[in-house]
Amino acid sequence: QGISLARISLQRSYKHLNLLPDTKMDKQSFVFPLIFLLSCSGSFSFPTKKTLANLNKYEKHLVDPAALDAVDQHLKKANPALNSFRTSVLFYLYTKSSINSPYVLLNNNSTLLKSSGFDKSKKTYVVSHGFMDSVHSDITQSIKNALLTFNDVNVIGIDWSYYTKNILYSWVAGETPEVGNYVGRFVTFLVKQGLSPDNLHLIGHSLGAHVSGFAGKRFQEEYDLKLYRITCLDPAGPLFNYNKPTARLDRTDADVVDCILSTRYLYGHIKLIGTANFIVNGGTVVQPPCKWEDFRTAYFCSHVSVVKYFNSSCDDWNIFEAESCYDRNGVERNCNGARMGFPASRYPTFHEMHLEVNEDYPYAKEEW
């Protein structure tokens, strides 16, 4: 009984820990669908063979020539060692001891890494946000909080909002190879500093999932081996649905590529592109936590709901277990023990897994 009471108390405190993205729909949420549809209406080619052939040249384009000499005040406060730098992709390191005071890292700067509190012996999670978001958004922050609340790990939030704050979705989508390639160079740098590839886990929401995929591709080019795992949270579908594996996230980008799908055929990818694909509530309907939302925001809410499910799964008490599984030949298999989210592991015989969730936190149908 004492454990149960403590458990209830802990659950009530989750919102104070900011483990859940804010369920209130702000102005951005209302305009997102309209911006998205309008920005996709123009002609767009993504990406060309020339683009893919020149991935190794992208890093130089990530320097913003118009950047000011002075660093933003929040960067100065986070890292006093930085007097100035010019970059459009930033890496924020969070640890147990610095959960609310990140340290800004730079690619190929070992001095900053050594003084940052980064522990190369620990699991390292690299989190990438999506369209119209930033590292400071509820999505990235809630994932970071969930990981660090239940684990002593390194969490690195990627901020590529220099690109994602552009309202033209098609342009932002076209920048994902560049950004992903740069992130791939960054994780390669971490491995060169002593981090094991088996301790690298990339997590991406929407467009951020494809950034993670391109990062995995780049890492394979550098080391001829794969990262341990990429978790894709409703990977973006529009302008990626019919791309070849080289032009999007693919199951070959890491040893384990587990995808959680909540808005297939709308915001999410229509194909099953992971080694393990968890389809929540059919993947095409309004998700249970969003059913009371206005029709204008319900599907966007559903696109974000995968973050809530993943965050909840970081707590071992919450069990998201698949109800039916199919192999790549469409044959149904017994999938007892196939768990979605943080504890998801390798399912060599499973390709498509289905489960349902509840309307309210912790969303899982089962609890220990």
Catalytic residue, candidates 39, 88, 206, 302: 206
Q: What is the DSSP string of 153-220?
A: -EEEEEE-HHHHTSS-HHHHHHHHHHHHHHHHHHHHHHHHTT--GGGEEEEEETHHHHHHHHHHHHHH
Q: Which amino acid is at 321?
A: E
Contact yes or no for 234/267 (Cβ under 8 A): yes
Task: Please tell me the total number of residues recorded for the chain in this structure.
Answer: 368
Instruction: Tell me if residue 16 is catalytic.
Output: no
Catalytic residue, candidates 137, 303, 305, 312: 303
Instruction: Tell me if residue 206 is catalytic.
Output: yes
The C-alpha atoms of residue 122 and residue 196 are separated, in whole angstroms, by 9
Catalytic residue, candidates 133, 159, 234, 250: 234
Instruction: Count Cβ atoms within 10 A of the Cβ of residue 336 and give its class: 0-12 exposed, 13-18 middle, 19 or more buried.
Output: exposed
Distances (CA, A) of 173 to 68, 84, 119, 302, 367: 26, 29, 33, 20, 38
CA 81 to chain centroid, in Å, comes to 28
The DSSP output letter for 58 is G
Q: Which amino acid is at 334?
A: N
Beta bridge partners of 240: none
User: Which among 185, 356, 332 is positioned nearest to 278, based on CA atoms?
Assistant: 356
**Longest CA span, the chain:** 63
The C-alpha atoms of residue 218 and residue 9 are separated, in whole angstroms, by 44
Instruction: Tell me if residue 129 is catalytic.
Output: no
Crossing angle of the two packed helices 169-192 and 207-223, in degrees rounded to 10 = 40
- List, in order, residues 6 or more apart from 36 with CB less than 8 Å away: 131, 169, 238, 267
User: Which among 84, 85, 86 is positioned nearest to 66, based on CA atoms?
Assistant: 86
End-to-end, the C-alpha distance of the chain in Å comes to 13
Which residues does the annotation mark as catalytic? 206, 234, 303
